[in-house]
Amino acid sequence: MKLEKPNFAAPVDAEKRKAIPPVICYPPETLEQPDLAALVTLRAGANKTAEAIAAPRDAACIDVPAGAFVRVLSVDGPQVGDLNMWNKHDLTERFYSGKTRALHGTHLSTGGRMWSSFPNMRPMATIVDDTLDWYGFDAFGGSVHDVIGTRCDPYTGRLLSGDDYHYCCHSNLTRALAGHCDLPLREAEMLVHDVLNVFMCTGFTRDTGQYFMKASPVRPGDYLEFYAEIDLIVGLSACPGGDCSSEHSSDVAACYPLVMEVYDPGEAARAAHVQPERSAYDRTHGAG
């Protein structure tokens, strides 16, 4: 947020300085591109092998082996989901939404990759299908599947309203991961991280730069699908905000379940998958 009335007068060349065109921070041209055509072929021969349901105002976790696909599916009614990903064998390697945003922009779709936290920084998953890709950006600058929000949580709720609400995505994911990995709640909580907001329609207001949400265009049958680059645990919370047309962090909105489905192209195909290497940076950080 900026001051409505600035404290300092604009310099004489203010307009000239403001007119300088932007430069993309991280041009993606040097990134290795996924072979989407090969993944589509692989997907055509895959069979559904597992399913987990995130009940309304609750979350679920599911294992997805490297080389398999996972679909997040809308059922029953418009609903957004907060998605986390962990390396199944090292839960400290997790989805890094901020760096994914820096590399792929504010909202993801087919061909986008979900990058893992330092010091790993490798693609954990590749988005292979998105039935909402037609949405693009709307007149408000909004779009779906953002990596700009964090996750709804009881701490911000407490800060802004003074109330304790226990079914925010942060808490739902904490309970689900604790149950899935048999971890103490407090240990699981520290592993929950900022999310990919699946199906959520968000942006920044043009005049004040404030984070906004609006009713999601998702309808039952819509899905977002990923290819697992490494062995994953995927966590998904059916956000208490429902379709996020009004409010979250409460029991007010109509909420629906979300489904995760695993599609396996077979053991031989998975064995042929080459997992991305962790970053080759030597981690000496200039300390001699």
CB-based contact 64:234 (threshold 8 Å): yes
d(CA 61, CA 220): 21
Contact map string, positions 201 to 240, toward Zn ion, x by CB under 5 A: --------------------------------------x-
Backbone angles phi, psi at 159, to 5 degrees: -60, -45
Task: Tell me how far, at minimum, the Cβ of 91 lies from Zn ion, in Å.
Answer: 21
Closest to Zn ion by CB, 245 vs 279, is 245
CB-based contact 42:206 (threshold 8 Å): no
Binding-site member from 144, 169, 177, 230 for Zn ion (CB under 5 A): 169
Binding-site member from 52, 64, 152, 224 for Zn ion (CB under 5 A): 152
Q: What are the residues whose beta carbons fall under 8 Å from the beta carbon of 18, sequence distance 6 or more?
A: none
d(CA 162, CA 156): 9
d(CA 241, CA 137): 21
Closest to Zn ion by CB, 68 vs 169, is 169
If one asks whether residue 195 binds Zn ion (CB under 5 A), the answer comes out as no
Closest to Zn ion by CB, 82 vs 130, is 82
Amino acid letter at 210?
Q
C-alpha radius of gyration, the chain, whole number: 20
Reduced to 3 states, what is the DSSP secondary structure of residue 180?
Answer: helix
Task: Tell me how far, at minimum, the Cβ of 149 lies from Zn ion, in Å.
Answer: 8
Task: Tell me how far, at minimum, the Cβ of 197 lies from Zn ion, in Å.
Answer: 8
Contact map string, positions 69 to 108, toward Zn ion, x by CB under 5 A: -------------x--------------------------
Sign for the CA dihedral angle at 69, 192, 109, 215 comes to positive
Closest to Zn ion by CB, 153 vs 229, is 153
Residues 47-76 touching Zn ion, rule: CB under 5 A, are none
Give Dmax over CA atoms of the chain in angstroms.
67
How many residues of this chain interact with Zn ion, rule: CB under 5 A? 4
Task: Tell me how far, at minimum, the Cβ of 80 lies from Zn ion, in Å.
Answer: 7
Task: Tell me how far, at minimum, the Cβ of 260 lies from Zn ion, in Å.
Answer: 16
Q: Enumerate binding residues for Zn ion (CB under 5 A).
A: 82, 152, 169, 239
